[in-house]
Amino acid sequence: MSMIRDLRAAVRPRPSLRKESGSYDTTRAPGTNSAVVDCAVYRDGARVQTREPLTPHEAMRLVHRDGGFVWIGLHEPTEAEFSGIAGEFGLHPLAVEDAVQAHQRPKLERYDDSLFTVFKTIHYVEHDELTATSEVVETGEVMCFTGRDFFITVRHGGQGSLRALRHRLQDEPDLLAKGPSAVLHAIADHVVDGYIAVADAVQDDIDEVETAVFSLGRKGTPRGTDAGRIYQLKREVLEFKRAVSPLLRPMQLLSERPMRLVDPDIQKYFRDVADHLARVQEQVLGFDELLNSILQANLAQASVTQNEDMRKITSWAAIIAVPTMVCGVYGMNFDYMPELRWKFGYPLTLGVTVCICLSIHRILKRNGWL
């Protein structure tokens, strides 16, 4: 963590440089980290090495002078931090507003000479046991601005760091030489690969719940499970669905429709991303339908259990009704009652009552009520 703080502190613009550009300040209040995580210029597929970390203004000067493109990564910038960068690169105000406020649905929009893309990242939350309050998936957002000579990422949430992705791309100069569209494809592929991993983990949770619903108890009857667990898992799957489904159309556009800002060679790679995303969407839709079936089966089992309980209660009430009736009759203290003054009247009455109760018990048990 100290290395991250040092790196973020290092990329803060120096006062002299901010004064020179006169357009923006990407620093926060003292004691807090800068929104700029990394800022670098890439030329011919390689990162341009500089003695000191670049500011966005310096990076653009290098690009205008020697060519290449600049890649700026930001994490949860404030409006003041991002407004200067937006002015430097000519970003549309509506896209800037969406990038700062976050909580956007996945989409692809074109503004003048730039593309604005929103991805929702999904992270699987590890848990020892699935409960009615367990958090299964955690979401974040990555907004991407793609231009001719710049690529800007705005990340929201604690998950979905792009540092490892940047390093991996720097090890593939042939791909990185294709320009900003290559970075856009890499991020899309990274996000969709995360969806695939989360889908596999969610499948394990659904299998666990399904097994619990249809498992047998001690007496060979369905044991069932807590409906709250199923409902919570269904809500998490719905959150997953909200991230996956809206992204399918943007990926299809990037893979099928020619765009000036997307290299034709890179466009072919978007087809693979769109195929993977379609497969994940099918999985998520299947999860939703399967959870509906599991929930209905659980409710049906609960109804069957309640009916069995009511049968048992009714059966024992019928058995108890016999001695209650006999005792009620002989408890009225009439003078003239059958066998009232007979020596064996009391044991005979008890014997007849017990025989009737045993007969009723046998009949009810044979019919499956007990």
Domains of the chain, residue spans: 31-302, 305-367
Cβ atoms of residues 269 and 181 within 8 Å: no
Sequence-distant (6+) residues with CB within 8 A of 328 are none
The confidence score (pLDDT) of residue 12 equals: 35
Q: What is the pTM for the complete model shown?
A: 0.74
Q: Which residues of the chain have pLDDT under 70?
A: 1-34, 216-225, 334-336, 338-340
Q: How far apart are CA 366 and CA 135, in angstroms?
A: 48
The confidence score (pLDDT) of residue 333 equals: 72
The confidence score (pLDDT) of residue 268 equals: 87
Q: How far apart are CA 211 and CA 325, in angstroms?
A: 48
Question: What class, spelled out in words, does domain 305-367 have in CATH?
Answer: mainly alpha
The confidence score (pLDDT) of residue 91 equals: 92
The confidence score (pLDDT) of residue 225 equals: 59
Cβ atoms of residues 155 and 74 within 8 Å: yes
Strand partners, 70: 41, 150
Sequence-distant (6+) residues with CB within 8 A of 113 are 90, 147, 148, 261
- The answer to whether 31-302 and 305-367 have equal CATH topology is no
At residue 140, the 3 state secondary structure works out as: strand
The confidence score (pLDDT) of residue 15 equals: 32
Q: What is the CATH architecture assignment of 31-302?
A: 2-Layer Sandwich (3.30)
Q: How far apart are CA 225 and CA 294, in angstroms?
A: 10
The confidence score (pLDDT) of residue 34 equals: 66
Choose among 143, 81, 80, 89: nearest CA to 114. Answer: 89
Diameter of the chain measured on Cα atoms: 124
Cβ atoms of residues 156 and 118 within 8 Å: no
The confidence score (pLDDT) of residue 245 equals: 92
Rg (CA), the chain: 35
The confidence score (pLDDT) of residue 339 equals: 66
The confidence score (pLDDT) of residue 209 equals: 87
